[in-house]
Amino acid sequence: MRKQNKTSPQGGKIVKNSLKFISIGLVMVLLLMSQWNVDRSVEAAAVVVAEDTVEWMDTSAEVVSYYSPGSGTSTASFWLKDTALEFTNSASSTWAGNTSTSDNTVYTIHAGTVSNGTKGTFSTSTGSTFDATKPASTTISSLSVTRDGSALSSSLNATLGTFTLFGNVANKDVIATYDYHTTNTYDGSTDGQKIAKVTSTSDSTGEWISISEVTASGSVTPDDEADFYKGTVVISDDAGATAEGDGSVWVADGDTLTVSYYGPGTSPSDTTDNATVIDSTDATIDYADPTITVTGPADGTLTSDKTPAFSFIVADSASGFTATTPLTYVTVTVNGCNLITSEHSFSTLTTTELGMTIAIASLTDDWITTATGGCSSATSRTAGGFGIGGTAVATTTTGTHHGTEFSYSIVATDIAGNSKTVDGDDANVTIDTQGPNMQSAIAGKAYDSDVAVSTTCAASATPLYCLDTGDIAGANSVKVVFDESLDQASVAASDFTVDDVTPASVSFGGKDEMTDRLVYLAMSTDFSPGAKPVVKVVGTVTDQAGNALNDKPSGVTTGTDLSGSATDGYADKVTATDGVNPTVSDVALDGTLLASKGEAVLTFNSDENMKDNGNTVAQVCTCAVVAGGGAAQAILGTTGHSAKLAVTLTSPTAGKATFKQTDYTATGIYGIVIQAKDVNNNEGNSGGVKITNEDVSAEIAADLAATSTTATIGLKKWPLADHDADGDLTDGISATVNGTAVTIAVSSINWTETEEVTVAFTGAAAAVKGTDTVKLTYYYVDASQVVEVDVSKPEVSAFSPLDGTTTENRTPFISVTWDEDEYAGDTSTTVTLTAATLTDPDGTASDILLNMSTTDNKDFFYRPADDLSYGEYTFKVSAQDAAGNEKTDQSAKFTVSERSKTSISLLPGWNLVSLPGTPSDTAINSVITNAQVDTVLTYDPTVPGGWLTAVRDSGGDLVGTLAAVDADRGYWVHTTNDDPIKVDIPGYSGGSQQLPPAIALVKGWNLVPSVSITGAAVAATMDPDVYFTGLSWTRAYGFGTATDAFTGFVPTSGASDTANDSSVVIGRGYWLFLSEAGTLVP
């Protein structure tokens, strides 16, 4: 395109394309990422940006199609070319006055020097930006020279910024006028300088980008006349990077990133921007990391293979890879060693998936072989293996093995620069080439995974790795220790002999690093005390890497034989140490309930000689340990929960101890565990009984707030036992939550009647919920080794009648209840009543001890045969417990009073009432003593006319056909005041010789009472459907005197219909209509 001369505001000349409204052809979409911390792979060879086009590319001038924002932000760069963006500036240099030079003199622009002669006075035009120190950066494009206004011939050296003047100058003015280039920059923010804009699918607002002139496509070197321009944009995965002018463009995975080139406006230096896109190009945003799927060896692999199969698949569905150069995108090291190119092979080779297999190049080397050239750099290894050596024992939380753990590394990077690494803790492998070794054995040991870590072990540096963790006494079992974990599937009972006898069974034990290192051989018969059997490996056992320990007779070439001979029939042997615990037997206590100053002698035998008992509990002694009491015991630490009871050896195999109340003064229960220690320091115990998985879920009714929150749990068996006599009661208590074992912290043991432990489920994955299934395993002391101390007197827990109360029953039930259940596991909870008297209101005391009855020796009772007199009575008792503690003269007072009369309220006028029970005297004038009652009526359908009446006569009595008032009918009562009817109704009592009421009713209307056999209060309400049960009734009416109106109600339709549930009121009468005759049974 033709350049046009334009005049700049500074007085220079500019060159500009005519406005570009023509369509620009599409170019290949390429991507470039620069200034990011990952080496970026590209897709094509270097290209040159064509005139009036823009390209995403990198500094190698290779087009980039994908970008990633990396860990948050990165940059993307583009290059464009347009000669119309180029402009030149004009300036002049003047040598004035007495300038005198000869022909071919060299003049230096801006510096003003001349190669010969006199330069006169030198000056440069105002505003010139020509760089005299580096003329090549402001290249002169044209030059004209005059001498006193006349043109002179000259030769320009644009690189040096000089010209040679042809002709002499004698005291004349020399003026050089010239145009020069500068490195052009468009800031992207000032009006008229918005040349290139970057947008994305997510950020349509985008950013105007500053561009600056450089030497070529992909170049970052400034240039003043190359017409190539570079721009860089920050791309960000932050959705907040959408504001115009913030310098960043927000991108999301899969977005299209577009750079649009608009070109200058009317001129490069005016304030008008071009609104028409001259050219644009796209790139794709990809910031999903590739995936790496390792098919082998998996992380944590333990193998005996010196050349394990190593293969994996790298995949990326977005920018992917270049299939022709796969190793550009994948870097693999093993044990820190680089791979040789020939050690890579490919099962899949596409732009989206690389399936790779790694194999040592040499057929004679393996991974153990030393690396030729070492592994100090990414290219130092040239041959050999990877130098994976060592057969040292290594421990983990899941077992023990030989060999040194190493790791491999796979780094995969896609074209966009997203990277994925598998290494370190995700890529650990161990090569173990050494067979197992049988180290030791101990007789008399079996295994129980529920056994807590011993106190000694817990105090060690590695409490979870103790050799004795899980050991329990097993008279027919021998424990064998190997130097590494075995493959359980390779081990059978037939692989061993014990004193040349094949074991009956084999099992494994051990936790953490001891897992599968401990083999337990169970024999058909028990070992004798002090046994030291010889254990041999006569078959083949392998470690978890597959290395075998086996006898190697002729023809067997694999495995390890540690016996020293290939023909002796075994691979390894050890002589077991004595681990058979002494058996404690014939335990006897000559007393189990001690009162004040009481003693109980404990005797026992052992099947082995016992050592002296001078040690403490912590040192392991031949002794007894005692735990218990009658109060709550705070648990602090893991010692001191039980106390030593000294044992005297009456012979090498027999001992005794004396339990004294003066040493254990508190009332309570005490469990005794006996421990015998033989000459080889083996310990045998007696007294502890194990309870496995007792369901205590019901004890935790509500959710616990946290794993540190405590719960108080009652146990079925008591007292708790220090089963291993180590001073720690808590090591015998363990828990599971929903079937999973969890660590617990016991903070208190309550030896009172509640029989509880307070625990927190500190090792649970989450706080225990009320719906969880919680089970405890614990030990309690067998009843034969329990002593109870009772120095407390029994207490009265209840009197009847209650002290200070009044009863209307003249033959009341007189009783006393004694409480002798004083502590957890109390077996002596009864008393003997030693005295009982009843003092009447006249002060006469009657001895009623022989009249007191009991069924359990706790509750004692007496009922007078004759009515008691009215007045206050004193009931006094004394009792003695089984230990001889007596509580005397415990008393309660009660009053017998006359029975109060039942009151039926009346209002002036007619009242429809009834009696709630049969009165003691049914005569009408005995029942109704209120003189203001003048008429009483009732309806009896069995008599002629149906009505019975009584009217008060002149003598003051109610007389007529109604002579008696009972509880079989309702009554109309007319009165002129509100005095109630007061009547003595005895009610129904136990043993009374009367039948409950049954009132015969006829078909039709009946006037019925509201009767209560239970003694319900007058005015209490009843549900008519319940009260009239069994009757075929259709309607009933009551009468309200205050309203002078009847109130009707009918049977309800079901349980949900509660409209009439309180319609029947005790003491009122009712009209009731029956569809057939029936019997009312109140």
pLDDT digits (tens, 9 = 90+) for 498-524: 999 999 999 999 888 899 999 999 999
Length of the chain, in residues: 1082
The answer on pLDDT for 3 being more than 80 is no
Q: Residue 231: CA atoms inside 13 Å, Cβ hemisphere, count?
A: 28
> What band does 167 get if pLDDT is binned at 50, 70 and 90?
confident
Q: Please state, in angstroms and rounded to a whole number, the distance separating the CA atoms of residues 393 and 299.
A: 19
Residues 452, 471: Cα–Cα separation, whole Å: 10
Cα–Cα dist 468/454, whole Å: 8
Whole-angstrom distance, CA of residue 751 vs CA of residue 758: 12
The continuous run of DSSP H or E covering 925 comes out as: helix 924-927
Under 8 Å CB-to-CB from 325, ≥6 apart: which residues?
none
Handedness of CA 42, 45, 48, 52 (dihedral sign): negative
The overall longest dimension of the chain from CA atoms, in Å, is 178
Q: Are 358 and 314 in contact (CB under 8 A)?
A: no
pLDDT of residue 269: 67
d(CA 694, CA 944): 77
- Is the pLDDT at 19 greater than 70? The verdict is no
Phi and psi at residue 596, to the nearest 5°: -55, 130
DSSP 289-304: PPEEEEEESPTTEEE-
What pLDDT, in 10s, does the model give residues 662-718?
999 999 999 999 999 999 889 999 999 999 999 999 999 999 999 999 999 999 999
Rg of the chain's alpha carbons, rounded to an integer?
Answer: 55
Does residue 1028 carry a pLDDT above 70? yes
Question: What pLDDT sits at residue 62?
Answer: 94
- The band of 389, judged by pLDDT with boundaries at 50, 70 and 90, is confident
Q: What is the pLDDT, as a whole number, of residue 746?
A: 95
Please determine, for residue 398, whether its predicted confidence score (pLDDT) is greater than 80. yes
Q: What is the mean pLDDT of residues 136-164?
A: 90
* pLDDT at residue 978 in the model: 95
**Both structure tokens of 800:** 């009847």
Residue 597 zone, left/alpha/beta (φ > 0; ψ -120 to 50; rest):
left
pLDDT of residue 986 exceeding 90, the answer is no
Query: Looking at 932-1003, which runs of residues are DSSP E strands?
Result: 933-939, 947-952, 958-960, 971-975, 981-983, 999-1001
Q: How many CB atoms lie within 10 A of CB 531?
A: 18
What are the strands, taking DSSP E only, across 448-517?
471-482, 496-498, 505-509
Judge whether residue 15 has pLDDT over 50: no
More reliable by pLDDT, 111 or 42: 111
Q: How confident is the model at residue 244 (pLDDT cuts 50, 70, 90)?
A: confident
Q: How confident is the model at residue 266 (pLDDT cuts 50, 70, 90)?
A: low
CA distances from 135 to 111, 124, 138, 141 (A): 11, 15, 5, 12
| 869-906 core/surface letters (b: 16 or more CB in 10 A; e: else) | eeeebbbbbbbbbbbebebeebebbbebeeeeebebeb
Q: Report CA 554 to chain centroid distance, whole Å.
A: 58
Give the C-alpha separation, 131 to 923, whole Å. 143
- For the chain, the average pLDDT equals 89
Say what the pLDDT of residue 802 is.
97
Q: Is the pLDDT of residue 623 over 60?
A: yes
Q: In angstroms, rounded to a whole number, what is the distance separating the alpha carbons of residues 874 and 803?
A: 9
Tell me if 1039 sits within 8 A of 1063, measured CB to CB. no
For residue 1047, how many other CB atoms are within 10 A of its CB?
12
d(CA 755, CA 772): 22
In this prediction, residues 232-243 reach a mean pLDDT of 92
Strand residues in 237-290 grouped as ranges (E): 248-250, 256-261, 279-285
In percent, how much of the chain has pLDDT > 90? Answer: 73
Amino acid at 866: D
Interval 913-951: pLDDT, tens: 999 999 989 999 999 999 999 999 999 999 999 999 999
303 token code pair: 């193998």
Q: Which residues contact residue 21 at a Cβ distance below 8 angstroms, ignoring those fewer than 6 apart?
A: 276
pLDDT of 42 above 60: no
- Dist. CA 820–CA 836, nearest whole Å: 18
> HEC profile for 225-250?
CCCEEEEEEEEECCCCCCCCCCCEEE
Element (H, E) at 1024: helix 1024-1027
Amino acid at 427: A
Fold exhibited by the domain 291-431: Immunoglobulin-like (2.60.40)
Choice among 102-111, 297-306, 633-642, 1043-1052 with the minimum mean pLDDT? 633-642
Q: Is the pLDDT of residue 1058 over 70?
A: no
Give me the mean pLDDT over the 378-391 stretch. Answer: 90
pLDDT digits (tens, 9 = 90+) for 589-605: 999 999 999 999 999 99
Calculate the CA 222 to chain-centre distance.
61
The strand pairing partners of 481, in sequence order, are 440, 518
Would you state the pLDDT for residue 275? 86
Residue with tokens 């608009």: 262
Q: What is the distance of C-alpha 130 from the center of its chain?
A: 73
CA nearest to 358, candidates 311, 410, 412: 311
Give pLDDT, residue 993. 59
Mean pLDDT of 891-901: 94
Going by pLDDT thresholds of 50, 70 and 90, the confidence category of residue 460 is low
pLDDT at 46: 84
How crowded is the C-beta side of 70, counted as CA atoms within 13 Å?
15
* CA-wise closest residue to 469 among 515, 521, 423, 430: 515
Specify the residue for token string 């750079």: 259
Contacts of 172 (CB under 8 A, 6+ apart): 99, 100, 147, 148
In this prediction, residue 44 carries a pLDDT of: 52
Fold category of 795-896 in CATH:
Immunoglobulin-like (2.60.40)
